[in-house]
Amino acid sequence: MNFCSRCAAQTQQIIPANDNRMRQVCTKCGEIHYENPKLVVGTVAYFHEKVLLCRRAIEPRSGKWTLPAGFMELNETTQEGALRETLEEAGALVRPIKLMAVYDVVVANQVHLFYLAEMTSENLDPGEESLEAQLFHEHEIPWDEIAFRSVEAALRHFFKDRQVHHSLPVDHQSMR
């Protein structure tokens, strides 16, 4: 950031008074421009014993498989964003169950939240960000082609908890 979004003057990187981190601060009005992690929201959507994956049509990791997920938008809850992304990327209608996993992806300045969701039908209609959408049994998942560590962690968490006790507590990990 070179210019203040409040008054358009130049910014400089300094540690503001009573702070402990470098921030972009306006040289004219003094506005502090905080940069915070972005929220990525999505679902671990399932239909009977299969889980929904989408093959990415966009970078990063185009061509790799992922859970339907994307950046949260303004004026929506994390759950609303997860459902929207599932519809946009896979054309899947789902019934949300609960928050299943939270991953701190520090290297990308992101937090990933995945909701457990039950698909209302097996109908899929992938959007422009997906090359395809498909339902997989656990043994069919292309583990070597999973796009992101948080997606692999969420999938493994899902299948482990389904085997053990059909109860899905929230999984919170840091991905550094």
Burial of 111 (0-12, 13-18, 19+ CB in 10 A): buried
State mean pLDDT over 138-151.
Answer: 98
6-40 pLDDT, tens digit per residue, is 999 999 999 999 999 999 999 999 999 999 999 99
- What are the boundaries of each domain within the chain? 1-35, 38-174
Cα–Cα dist 37/40, whole Å? 10
CATH for the 38-174 domain, from 3.20.20.70, 3.60.21.10, 1.10.287.3610, 3.90.79.10 = 3.90.79.10
The residue assigned the tokens 């999938």 is: 155
Tokens coding 49: 């014993």
Q: How many Cβ atoms are within 10 Å of 153's Cβ, its own excluded? A: 18
User: Fold match between 1-35 and 38-174?
Assistant: no
Q: Specify whether the CB–CB gap between 26 and 33 falls below 8 A.
A: yes
Q: What is the pLDDT of residues 50-109, one digit of tens each?
A: 999 999 999 999 999 999 999 999 999 999 999 999 999 999 999 999 999 999 999 999
Tell me the CATH number of domain 1-35, given options 3.20.20.450, 2.60.120.260, 2.170.150.20, 2.20.70.10: 2.20.70.10
pTM of the model: 0.88
Cα dihedral: 127, 128, 130, 134 (round 10): 30
Strand partners of residue 103 = 112, 173
